[in-house]
Amino acid sequence: MNDIIGFYQQLGWPVFSWVLSVFILAGLVKGVIGLGLPTVAMGLLGLAMAPVQAAALLIVPSMLTNAWQLAAGGHLRGLLVRLWPLLLAVFIGTLGAGLFLGVSGEPWVKRALGGVLVVYALAGLFLPALAIAPRHEGWLGFVCGLATGCITALTGVFVIPAVPYLQALGLQRDELVQALGLSFTVSTLALGLSLYGQAALGGAELGASLVVLAPALAGMWLGQWLRRRINALLFKRAFFVGILLLGLHLSITPP
């Protein structure tokens, strides 16, 4: 307990309040559109702390909320058979890149995080609907998985290019939601192992991450309630615009 308090005391209590607010908002976004918790959390936390600290805080809420999303749907076996090249490559790419690079506190990492957010937002706003022929899924999934893993190890964000790839497979809505949960769960697990290998994820960090699980779940519940009362498509567009502005800010603001 003292380690957890010490972790947040080191950040400062104003930053602690910011962390709680960020995870409520990140959970709300995930509750409304089914994704976005790690992206929102990494982007907004990156305004106040080093990306490696933000990535450590992300582990518990990301793992549990995505495992919850993964458990629903009834398509797990078929998705594992279809997506194993992507998932294996994500794992290999994250651990491999983590050995040589990894999430750190260097200024260029924050700029890289901003660049990834910009690319993700532009893809969400303007990328046309794509379709991948089944005969290309094996090799293309592996390539996308390696790229996603490298970006995950560097920035803590695991949506590019995995999310556009999954969206191009022609999955039904429930299958896509479960596939996203599966991909994000593997990415979070690999990121956690990578951070542990860098001595950036220990008992204090895991405890501090557990603390933010409650606000993340509260935000998800609020988002699910809100989803039934708002235009989800309009909300999603606003989400991508916000991510674009945040990414630009992280990319161009001096450290």
pLDDT by residue for the chain (255 residues), tens digit each? 667 777 777 878 889 999 999 999 999 998 888 888 988 999 999 888 888 889 999 999 999 988 877 776 678 889 999 999 999 999 999 999 888 776 655 677 788 888 999 999 999 999 888 889 889 999 999 999 999 999 999 888 999 999 999 999 999 888 888 999 899 999 999 999 999 988 888 888 899 999 999 999 999 999 889 888 888 788 889 999 999 999 998 888 765
pLDDT of residue 106: 65
Q: How far apart are CA 168 and CA 156, in angstroms?
A: 23
Which of 168, 180, 182 is CA-nearest to residue 77?
Answer: 182
pLDDT of residue 179: 92
Structural domains in the chain (count)? 1
pLDDT of residue 216: 95
**In terms of residue numbers, what domain contains 36?**
2-252
Q: How far apart are CA 1 and CA 20, in angstroms?
A: 18
State the DSSP string of 148-184: HHHHHHHHS---TTHHHHHHTTT--HHHHHHHHHHHH
pLDDT of residue 105: 57
pLDDT of residue 154: 87
Q: How far apart are CA 100 and CA 131, in angstroms?
A: 34
